[in-house]
Amino acid sequence: MSATGQAKALTPPDIAARKGKTPLVCLTAYTTPIARLVDPHCDVVLVGDSVGMVLHGLPSTLGVTLEMMIMHGQAVRRGLERPLMVIDMPFGSYEEGPEQAFRNAARVMTETGSAAVKLEGGEAMAETIRFLTGRGIPVMAHVGLTPQAVNAFGGYRVQGRGEDGERIRRDAIAVAEAGAFGVVLEKVPEPLARRITEELLMPTIGIGASPACDGQILVVDDMLGLFGEFRPKFVKRYAELGETASLAIGTYAQEVRARRFPAAEHVFGDEPKTLSGGEAA
């Protein structure tokens, strides 16, 4: 606890030290209200480029810009106290080379207060990860299904089946050796994710991977049932808030059309009503 009585904010070294211990709880967040909801429960909160699909209606993450990530990062920062906040670097903001990645990652961290960034890619990104971590920018890596490469993969397919598993394994080892403090394993076969977790000295965070991973992450809108009929195999719905919201909105619409809302308690009279404490309503 800090001197103010608040829990100390987690850091990348804190997350790295959780290898093999109590699993890390990770969720995405894109807004201040959701950040406040997940804050007491999570160890890592990712401002994911999935925001493009979840909140902006884009068909993929490829249209997300650096400015969008900074805006949502600033919003999430206002709602977090304890979890480590990590921000996705969007497509086109780091692939050109280490120098481009450093400029943009430094901007993201400076303008949002984020403690780390996340990059997609394995062996091809090792040099960039090494460059960033050597200059004080903590990096979380992401291998397996990397959504920014969806066109190259031909869709959102499981990666690492059969002989292709060795490629994913090499990617995970490469980002670990380059200095990443953790790695997301997305949509890879369970035995492969388990093997990688056993081999690496840094935490693995699974999404469609294995319960053996050192942590798990989901898109918060998916696990809350806010995203319509989108039901990936790896998502467990812990609520159906979309259905609840739809029913509430429908009831509101009925009451407005029937002139049942607003009722007397929702409108104001000509004269102020004095409350018990002498305050006027």
The annotation places the binding site for 3-methyl-2-oxobutanoate at: 49-50, 88, 118
Binding residues for Mg(2+): 49, 88, 120
According to DSSP, the β-strands at 24-28 and 182-186 are unpaired
Which neighbouring-strand residues pair with 257? none
Binding residues: 49-50, 88, 118, 120
- Locate all alpha helices (DSSP H) within the chain, ordered by sequence: 12-16, 32-38, 51-54, 66-77, 98-112, 126-133, 150-153, 165-178, 190-199, 220-223, 241-257
Catalytic residue numbers?
A: 186
Which neighbouring-strand residues pair with 186? 144, 207
Distance CA 205, CA 225 (A): 22
Distance CA 280, CA 58 (A): 48
Q: What is the dihedral of CA 211, 188, 130, 45, to 10 degrees?
A: -50
Q: Quote the longest CA-to-CA distance of the chain.
A: 78
